A and B are shown apart, each in its own frame.
Chain A
Amino acid sequence: MQRNETLVLALPKGRILGEVVPMIRRAGIEIEPEFDNEDSRQLRFKTNHPGVDVIRVRNFDVATFVAFGAAHMGVAGNDVLMEFDYPEIYAPLDLGIGRCRIAVAAPQEDANREDPSRWSRLTVATKYPGITKRHFAARGVQAECIKLNGAMELAPTLGLSRRIVDLVQTGSTLKANGLVEIEHIADITSRFIVNRVALKTRPTEIGGWIERLREAADAA
């Protein structure tokens, strides 16, 4: 069952892509021009290396493609890596881009009034149910997560949940919605990730790309 030998590099759409592409380019990978066309329906792109293709997927899906070995390498935030905690993903390199943090936030008045040490359970609106459950379980609280894909900041004011767990970059969205950051969970940056089996069975090739990305990240 020998599949095609082409290495697939998965890059995340959206916020981080603008920072990722120059770094990939510094590592010597030029992606075909169609990649920059926002309206393109193409999902898989050739590069100047005949043995390397690039795919563009949602950031959560980068981790999934790499974990299952459908892509061999990728770039993903450690928020995504923490959420899934896939044992099949190695994250050998911190690219130092896409900096933000993941935090717990609540309406100011609730944060002042409540005593979290008395809680046994709590509803939280989040895109990260895994991280949220682990974070609260570590101090003896069951978090019942309501999975939202955006506009988390609406949840507390509309009575959907008492807390939210979300990425915070500057804090201005929280502030605009009357929320305050009350707990820091982790600092987030983008990582260069590789599939475990791919690294084990093609150590020289994949190891070579890790080195080139390391140089590109160090030069930044």
Chain B
Amino acid sequence: MNETLHPALLPLGLRDLLPPSAGVEAEAVGRLMAVLASHGYDRVKPPLVEFEENLLTGAGAAMATATFRMMDPISQRMIGVRADMTPQVARIATTRLLKSPRPLRLSYAGQALRVKGSQIRSERQVGQVGAELIGSDEPSADVEVVALAAEALGSLGIAGLSVDLTLPTLVPALCAAFGIVGEEADAVRAALDHKDAAAVAASGGAAAEVLGKLLSAAGPAKPALAALAQLDLPPEAAAERESLETVVRQLEAAMPDLAVTIDPIENRGFEYHTGISFTLFAKGVRGELGRGGRYRAGSGKGEPATGFTLYTDTVVRALPPQEPAKRVYIPVASDDTVAKKLRTQGWVTVAGLAPVTDAENEARRLQCSHVLSGGTAKPV
């Protein structure tokens, strides 16, 4: 069994990005980061690999099963390759930047690695662009991050954007109030995750009625809020509902064109979130563009924080079709200043290295749209 490995074969879930995709992705990341920077989110750059202990504490614990680990031969401790950058940024905020004034706004872009992909997305290396707002529990902070994520995606021309708001703490609060624990709570959770109304009714016990109403409340923001307002919730859950109302109201004022839906029971992937959370979708695009929400930054009780992460591979899939750049072939020994001038005007110039008999043909062979001839770019 010594099969020769094909030189192009990569391990599952990893890939080469080729032209033009690699360029498109890099440009999209640059534009997203520019929007974040313009709102005062300063960039940080954590390392690829960290001590496992630090990487997987607090909000990072959710990524424990997704993290590649190895032993660091120098410190003889376990180290992990980041599977998500948010815990790293939270660590930076609560350690090295502990003395920086709050609210602290940080942004980041980089690659993360996961031991396996999901059933519908096999990618194991995922590009992330994100922003974290640390040190404020005001609803205006929630509004800011949702609006910022939407603005950043909007700046790329992504159409049909919608944001789904959720309260991951609502169901646990209800279960606790109705005394649903252990396996019973797991069964309720599984039924809610699949939006299986029949199973919710069967496993919900005393909470079945209110959970059923929560289930059917999901949908566009206005009717969903109205339905939520009808519910008789325990005090803790009622407080959550109130802050959700505030956030939706402020968000609608800030971004009237953004489609907002509410799903009060969405929980998957939000296990470590502690308040209003959200997922970003675009119509017709498979998968999520990004997600975010409230968590506690740092170990122990931590600081209130919220933020979001965008997944660059999905973001790129959602981009409108790109206009290919104008490319002009510059035959060897052409006037250098002309090429320079064309570049300043936004052209891409491709220099000939040796004389050719048919410059137009050569331009086409090198996938140029134009050729420099007589001092101007002529279409080929």
- Chain A interface (Cβ < 8 Å from any Cβ of B): 1-3, 5, 67-69, 81, 84, 86-94, 191, 197, 200-204, 207
Contacts and interface: CB of A to CB of B under 8 A. Distances in A.
A177 B274 CA distance: 55
B284 A3 contact: yes
Interface of B: 118-120, 159-160, 162, 164, 193-198, 215, 218-220, 259, 261, 263, 268, 279, 281-288, 317-321
A92 B261 CA distance: 17
B16 to A, nearest CB: 21
B120 A1 contact: no
Given A2-B284, A92-B197, A197-B281, A203 B219 contact: yes
Nearest to A81: B194
Contacts of B279: 200
Given A87-B268, A90-B194, A94-B198, A202 B219 contact: no
A202 B118 CA distance: 23
14 contacts: A1-B318, A1-B319, A1-B320, A87-B119, A88-B120, A91-B194, A92-B195, A92-B215, A94-B198, A200-B279, A201-B281, A201-B282, A201-B284, A203-B220
A13 to B, nearest CB: 23
Q: 5 tightest CB-CB pairs across the interface, nearest first?
A: A94-B198, A90-B195, A3-B284, A201-B283, A203-B219
Contacts of B197: 92-94
B144 to A, nearest CB: 22
Contacts of A86: 119-120
A91 B196 contact: yes
Nearest to A86: B119
Contacts of A3: 284
A43 to B, nearest CB: 21
A3 B320 CA distance: 11
B318 A87 contact: no
A201 B194 contact: no
Contacts of B195: 90-92
Contacts of A90: 194-195
Contact of B286 (A81, A89, A197, A202): A197
A67 B317 CA distance: 18
B267 to A, nearest CB: 11
A92 B196 contact: yes
Q: Give the most central of B164, B268, B279: most A CB within 10 Å.
A: B164
Contact of A1 (B218, B259, B284): B284
Contacts of B119: 67, 84, 86-88
Nearest to B289: A197
Nearest to B164: A200
B223 to A, nearest CB: 9
B281 A200 contact: yes
A202 B285 CA distance: 12
Contacts of A201: 160, 162, 259, 281-284
Contact of B285 (A1, A92, A93, A94): A1
